[in-house]
Amino acid sequence: MACIFCKIIKGEIPSLKLFESEKTLAFLDIGPLSRGHSLIIPKHHGAKLHDIPDDQLAEVLSVTKKIAVAQGVQDYNVLQNNGRIAHQEVDHVHFHLIPKPNETEGLGIEWPTKPADKGELQKLLEEIKSKM
């Protein structure tokens, strides 16, 4: 398998491990946006969030919280991308924990909101809820 994260899980590529269990691995990012930038990954290989079993996702989020608390960060981003146009570069689900110590370090985000039509929102709500 060519997945870099699967190779890290197997120990074929070294990492700076913060946490490891049967289901989860967390390590420091080697190209950090800020001090303490970490990656938290399920050991189950899946390219997108919906490919990962729920029990693995639950542990990933719990570990993400533990690392944030251990780092003592007050402001941080948790980022998870799915697909190339959503900026996913590695086809293995992973969560970034990115401390935001000040205005210039960490993740910078523009959030180009636009007004929503309330009728369209209601239709969308009903459509999504009918499929859950």
* Residues assigned a catalytic role: 94
CA distance 58 to 117: 34
Cβ proximity of 91 and 3 under 8 Å: yes
